[in-house]
Amino acid sequence: MTGAAQPIRLVIVDDQAMLRGALSALLDLEPDMQVVGSAGDGDEAVRVVAESAPDVCLMDIQMPGTDGIEATKAMRATSPGTRVLIVTTFARPGYVRAALEAGASGFVVKDAPAEQLAEAVRRVHAGLRVVDSALAQASLFEGANPLTDRERQILRLAADGRSAAAIAAEVYLSAGTVRNNLSSAIGKVGASNRAHAVRIAQDKGWI
């Protein structure tokens, strides 16, 4: 890096403080990178990125509240100059498709070697798309997520075993409408019951 070159400014988003710290320390060692902020959930991430205007945001997917996919959509709308690189433990093909559709520029897993992660950041910053090769291939065979946004929302709420009535109260729908959405989701994913549907959708990265 020449003296005139500006470092790639980064924001790290992960709900685990230890992982945020580790990623920050790792990338701060790179001579052409500088971590300028961090966040522990999606809502905070959108705020931090708006305030610090980083070049690249490294985004986790599964976080409390607003997840990484929804945060990426919001970030691309409010801070279009920031590119998003998904860095996640959950190597699920459905997540790749959802992340790219949300506007992410790349998708890598957390156990990637340090030099591979740093190179992914550089490529994303340069305007290229970076996707873990095995996941990219798998996502082609998985097909698109067959669930509607409402079905995804209801399946996520059903994951902890709550009743249709409890879900209905949370999303301001009738219990009958919730049951209809659950039935539709079960059929679309080829499940035998709601618990099976949740498991299939989670495994494929659809919810």
Cβ pair 152, 206 in contact under 8 A:
yes
When comparing pLDDT for 90 and 32, which is higher? 32
On the question of pLDDT at 164 being above 80, the answer is: yes
- CA angle, residues 61, 65, 70, in degrees to nearest 5: 50
pLDDT of residue 3: 47
How many whole angstroms separate alpha carbon 95 and alpha carbon 93? 5
On the question of pLDDT at 180 being above 80, the answer is: yes
pLDDT of residue 154: 93
Going by the DSSP 8-state scheme, the letter that residue 105 receives in this structure is S
The amino acid that residue 40 corresponds to is G
How many whole angstroms separate alpha carbon 69 and alpha carbon 42? 9
pLDDT band per the 50, 70, 90 thresholds, residue 201: confident
Q: What is the mean pLDDT of residues 182-193?
A: 86
Secondary-structure breakdown of the chain: helix, strand, coil percentages, each rounded to the nearest 5? 55, 15, 35
Provide the H-helix boundaries in the chain. 17-28, 42-52, 68-78, 93-102, 114-125, 133-142, 149-158, 164-171, 175-189, 194-204
Cβ pair 117, 141 in contact under 8 A:
no
On the question of pLDDT at 107 being above 60, the answer is: yes
- Return mean pLDDT, the chain: 87
Task: Give residue for tokens 């890598």.
Answer: 108
Domains of the chain listed by start with CATH number: 8-141 (3.40.50.2300), 149-204 (1.10.10.10)
Cβ pair 32, 7 in contact under 8 A:
yes
Q: What is the mean pLDDT of residues 21-47?
A: 93
On the question of pLDDT at 34 being above 60, the answer is: yes
Q: What is the mean pLDDT of residues 98-119?
A: 88
What's the chain's length in residues?
A: 207
On the question of pLDDT at 2 being above 50, the answer is: no
